[in-house]
Structure 1
Amino acid sequence: MIKTDILIVGAGPVGLFAVFEAGLMRLKCHIVDVVSSPGGQLTELYPKKPIYDIPGYPKILAGKLIDNLLKQAKPFKPGFTLGERADSFKKIGEIFEITTNMGTKLQGKVIFIAGGLGSMEPRKPKIDLINKFERKGINFYVKDPDTYLDKKISISGGGDSALDWAIYFSKKCKYPVNLIHRSKSFRGNKDSVDKIFELNKEGKLNLYLDSEVFSIDGENDTLNLISVRDRNGRECRLDTDYWFPLFGLVPKLGPLGNWGLDIEKNAIKVDNANDYSTNIKGIFAIGDINTYEGKLKLILCGFHEATLAVHGAYRIIYPDKKKSLKYTTIQGVTGFD
């Protein structure tokens, strides 16, 4: 039986930082995540994508940030149960017990839900054969961009992810990138939109606006062709080694939705005035999975939430103790033996 102070559901950046903050308070943590490696979206969706809004890092790759967070948490010896989904919990006296889909039982004095967007599923276009070619020319996220640099790339979408990857590949790929968007205007950052039109003028990117992919084809179970149609019915066929339909992710809470938590639009409502506690005493929700007035889904905001949640957890675990705030510049970082 695994026993700890804080059970953390979710091994993304916010969950990992919570381990560090808990360690400073001499609280031990164990993390459970359905994904087989730590990092959450940063590892699974865009490990090679740069992040620009982490304090102290003008630019850092998503995967590198996870490496640093793991290194930062290491002195506090967190436990990991990876590749298993937290399915249910029950209260045994003052202890929470989580059971995973594999039957593993984990016990903790409090629970942190740091599951990012929960169970993430890509928005898939309704096109014949799309399941046949998934991972055989059709990918719903870019994990290792360097493997595509000598390939013919097509991207569908109008948000930041589609624009960012279109710009990235247009600068590095051997062939011009095809960007297909169903509207004439983009939802992404204005600077990115300006760059898209600039790359189009330079001949590094082909733009298909007011257009959608309506059919796909391939040979030997591998994609090699997509067909595009605009609003006027004009059609064209594009030779394509890899097509990325980047229409975002559909967040689903999964089993967490049955825990009795106060849910609003697939997110967990929390008390942001204090410590990001939920309606169930002893359960906190931090990061993208929570919601409150003024919520911003940013990693750095999740770090702040994790810090306050740890202090809330300490008050529950040690109700008769008063923990004074000590700066790491004074006390340093002392790990667990």
Structure 2
Amino acid sequence: MSAVQQTDVVIIGAGPVGLFAVFECGMLKMRCHVIDALESTGGQCVAMYPEKPIFDIPGYPSIDAAALIHKLEEQAAPFSPTYHLGQQVEKLTQAGDRWLVETNTGTRIDTKVVIIAAGCGAFGPNRPPLDHLADYEGKSVFYLVKRREDFRGKRIVIAGGGDSALDWTISLADIAEKIYVIHRRPKFRGAPESVARMEALAKTGKVELVVPYQLHSLEGAGGQLSAVNVATMEGDVRRLDADTLLPFFGLAMNLGPIATWGLNLERSHITVNPQNCATSAPGIFAIGDIATYPGKLKLILCGFSEAAMAAHAAHPLLHPGEALHFEYSTSKGVPGS
């Protein structure tokens, strides 16, 4: 059995919100260990859409997801966090006013504070109910785009009506031969600006909106699509010549071991106090997409704010009786600056 390591804060999740929590804790002189089940930092940003542009990060009119993660790592680096990647937290055991965090690889960490920034927990795509779908997955059916260039010159069917479907329609329009957007109704759920940009592309003929239709069946051989058939609610079928299908129907969320830790849960999310992101267990906080409270917005920038609130709420647990004088980073600086 490995020796028990000690730290001030264990952050579960190395996505953008978890990485920013390292910075916020570091500014308050709290040491962090970061654990993530993926082999690299970045969470969904790197695992699912590294080249996807993000438009709502303050100060960046547009920044690719992978570039955002790089900047956040750079921002956290002065505080020397310890990363435990490729590991999943399996047990969380209370010992007095401290917690013992244990992973599936045998890592054991004694800590006063735990900040859960696990995003969607264990996540995977919601798959459309199509016959022989598995034959095409990873070859011509993809649930994420890791390299835009892989889709150059392709005839692409994008299915879905949310932000991912709209964002990738816009992003791939300038390199694809043709894009068909399939949705079961004329109204899309994405941001109004994205809907407007997609509709403008449709007027040029580069994008064709195929509504109201839904996926019906696939044609092809050896894992390579030749066509995607779509159908109306009345059963009228249309054949679309296609090389690639990108179904964007959201993620299936699975909390995994987190569900056994005795925290208050609501629909696979952890309920927190919106004033400080505290959970129902003392010393445990939840931030980012996994946390819920009235009025919650699932935005990265909101997760950044939650990271700051959780760090400030954690400080008196680590330094009882010590006054915390709020200072702006512009006056306080960071190590090495």
Q: Same fold (TM over 0.5)?
A: yes
User: Over residues 272-299 of structure 1, what are the superposed CA-to-partner deviations in whole Å (9 max), with x where a residue is unaligned?
Assistant: 12x2111100100011111111111111
SS of the residue aligned with 2:135? coil
Could you tell me the percent identity over the aligned residues?
A: 43
- What's the offset of the Cα at 1:79? 0.9
TM-score, scaled relative to structure 2: 0.94
Structure 1 pair 190–312 and aligned structure 2 pair: CA distance change class (3 A):
closer
- What's the offset of the Cα at 1:147? 1.5
Counterpart amino acid of residue 236 in structure 1: R
- Structure 1 equivalent of residue 314 of structure 2: 313
- What's the offset of the Cα at 1:238? 2.4
Does residue 107 (structure 1) correspond to residue 110 (structure 2)? The answer is yes
Distance 2:101 2:226 in 1: 46
Q: Is the 8 A contact 2:169 2:179 kept in 1?
A: yes
- What's the offset of the Cα at 1:17? 0.6
Structure 1 pair 3–213 and aligned structure 2 pair: CA distance change class (3 A):
same
Runs of 5+ consecutive residues of structure 1 not aligned to the other structure:
none
Distance 2:150 2:5 in 1: 40
Does residue 186 (structure 1) correspond to residue 188 (structure 2)? The answer is yes
- What's the offset of the Cα at 1:124? 0.7
- Structure 2 equivalent of residue 176 of structure 1: 178
Counterpart amino acid of residue 309 in structure 1: A
User: Over residues 238-274 of structure 1, what are the superposed CA-to-partner deviations in whole Å (9 max), with x where a residue is unaligned?
Assistant: 232221110111222221111100111211111112x
Distance 2:331 2:200 in 1: 51
Distance 1:230 1:126 in 2: 16
- Structure 1 equivalent of residue 304 of structure 2: 303
2:8 paired residue among 5, 9, 21:
5
Does residue 63 (structure 1) correspond to residue 69 (structure 2)? The answer is no
Structure 1 pair 23–191 and aligned structure 2 pair: CA distance change class (3 A):
closer
CA RMSD, 1 decimal = 1.7
Q: Is the 8 A contact 1:137 1:224 kept in 2?
A: no
Distance 1:200 1:272 in 2: 42
Distance 1:43 1:94 in 2: 35
- Structure 1 equivalent of residue 259 of structure 2: 257
Does residue 21 (structure 1) correspond to residue 24 (structure 2)? The answer is yes
- What's the offset of the Cα at 1:6? 0.5
Q: Is the 8 A contact 2:154 2:178 kept in 1?
A: no
Distance 1:131 1:99 in 2: 35
Runs of 5+ consecutive residues of structure 2 not aligned to the other structure:
none
Distance 2:299 2:131 in 1: 36
Distance 1:181 1:82 in 2: 38
Counterpart amino acid of residue 253 in structure 1: L
Distance 2:67 2:225 in 1: 32
SS of the residue aligned with 1:27? coil
2:147 paired residue among 144, 148, 151:
144
- What's the offset of the Cα at 1:137? 0.9
Q: Is the 8 A contact 2:14 2:117 kept in 1?
A: yes
Q: Is the 8 A contact 2:14 2:41 kept in 1?
A: yes
- Structure 2 equivalent of residue 241 of structure 1: 243
Counterpart amino acid of residue 102 in structure 2: T
- What's the offset of the Cα at 1:69? 0.5
- Structure 2 equivalent of residue 277 of structure 1: 278
Aligned length in residues? 334
SS of the residue aligned with 1:224? strand
SS of the residue aligned with 1:310? helix
- What's the offset of the Cα at 1:150? 2.1
Distance 1:36 1:130 in 2: 27
